[in-house]
């Protein structure tokens, strides 16, 4: 099993502080942004106490300031926050985020999924490239989950990367440029590879955390190309 999934690092922290942006580490079981007012202990609220300028940015949602994307409650990894309106506006349409993920192997997708037309091969020891694309719709009680909408939908989201079979399952390294809620979790479940401990999408449970980590980000800060990655 890969170290990124076995690690239960529970410490939120600032990884890089720059005049135009912050890169933070979000541990599992922490909300990226407040779900309600007053703040219930989110990563964004913690960061805003140290860097109040991030809330002056006119962001995606009221009260989220320069937060460029959220990670799910159980997902760990990198979070990028713009400290200036100029950088937020330059990046709000999308940039490259890479995730590491792990599945126990082929499982039946839960209900509500259309037939999956593609294929992800995971031969022993071989990297297999893949791309999964769809629009999404809310699904289930409370609209907690999402389901893919294949075809010519106006807003298509793409998860592309490589897979490799290991002794205990399948490892994925996935890049996305423009993200939808639960995009990677839903896409991999659709393909038959729900993530370990992902109850919402039919993943096999082991009693440990969701096997998903935001491992690197690549974006432009003016003329500078920034590429920041967590340790393997």
- Alpha-carbon separation of residue 87 from 48, 92, 148 (angstroms): 17, 8, 31
pLDDT for 127 equals 82
Instruction: Compute the average pLDDT of residues 60-89.
Output: 96
* Domains 3-93 and 97-213 fall in the same CATH topology: yes
The dotted CATH code for 3-93 is 3.30.2350.10
**DSSP β-bridge partners for residue 103:** 170, 195
pLDDT for 208 equals 85
| Cβ neighbours for 49, distance < 8 A, ≥ 6 positions apart | none
Q: Across 33-47, 73-87, 112-126, 199-213, which has the greatest mean pLDDT? A: 73-87
pLDDT for 7 equals 58
Cβ atoms of 27 and 76 closer than 8 Å = yes
Instruction: Compute the average pLDDT of residues 65-84.
Output: 97
pLDDT for 35 equals 80
pTM comes to 0.92
pLDDT at 177 over 70: yes
pLDDT for 58 equals 97
CATH topology of domain 97-213: Pseudouridine synthase (3.30.2350)
pLDDT for 230 equals 94
- Please state, in angstroms and rounded to a whole number, the distance separating the CA atoms of residues 83 and 91: 12
What tens digit of pLDDT does each residue of 44-61 get?
999 999 999 999 999 999
Q: Name the DSSP class of 112.
A: T
Q: CB-hemisphere CA count at 13 Å for 31?
A: 10
- Please state, in angstroms and rounded to a whole number, the distance separating the CA atoms of residues 96 and 207: 31
Instruction: Compute the average pLDDT of residues 6-26.
Output: 89
Please report which confidence band the pLDDT of residue 36 belongs to, taking 50, 70 and 90 as the band edges: confident
- Please state, in angstroms and rounded to a whole number, the distance separating the CA atoms of residues 150 and 171: 24
Report CA 29 to chain centroid distance, whole Å.
Answer: 14
151 by DSSP, 3-state: which?
coil
Domain boundaries, the chain: 3-93, 97-213
pLDDT for 72 equals 95
Cβ atoms of 83 and 21 closer than 8 Å = yes
pLDDT at 187 over 90: yes
Q: Per the omega criterion (within 30 degrees of 0), is the bond before 75 cis?
A: no
Q: Name the DSSP class of 72.
A: -
Cβ atoms of 81 and 18 closer than 8 Å = no
In the chain, the percentage of residues whose pLDDT exceeds 70 is 94
pLDDT for 8 equals 57
Between the two ends of the chain, the Cα-to-Cα distance in Å is 12
pLDDT for 117 equals 84
Concatenated DSSP letters of 160-194: EEEEEE-SSSEEEEEEESS--TTHHHHHHHHTT-P
pLDDT for 140 equals 93
């Amino acid at each position: 099993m890969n170290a990124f999934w076995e690690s239960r690092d529970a410490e939120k922290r600032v990884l890089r502080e720059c005049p135009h942006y912050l890169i933070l580490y979000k541990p599992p079981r922490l909300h990226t942004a407040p779900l309600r007012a007053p703040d219930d202990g989110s990563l964004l609220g913690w960061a805003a106490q140290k860097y109040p300028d991030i809330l002056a940015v006119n962001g995606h949602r009221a009260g989220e300031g320069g937060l460029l994307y959220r990670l799910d409650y159980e997902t760990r990894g990198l979070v990028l926050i713009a400290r200036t309106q100029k950088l937020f506006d330059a990046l709000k349409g999308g940039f490259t985020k890479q995730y590491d993920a792990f599945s126990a192997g082929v499982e039946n997708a839960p209900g509500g999924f259309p037939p999956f037309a593609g294929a992800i091969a995971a031969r022993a020891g071989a990297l297999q490239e893949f791309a999964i694309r769809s629009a999404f719709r809310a699904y289930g009680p409370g609209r907690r989950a999402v389901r893919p909408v294949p075809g010519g939908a106006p807003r298509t989201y793409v998860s592309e990367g490589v897979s490799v079979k290991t002794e205990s399952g399948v490892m994925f390294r996935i890049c996305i440029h423009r993200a939808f809620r639960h995009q990677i979790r839903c896409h991999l479940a659709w393909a038959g590879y729900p993530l370990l401990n992902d109850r919402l999408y039919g993943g096999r449970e082991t009693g440990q955390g969701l096997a998903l980590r935001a491992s690197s980000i690549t974006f432009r800060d003016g003329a500078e190309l920034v590429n920041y990655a967590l340790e393997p």
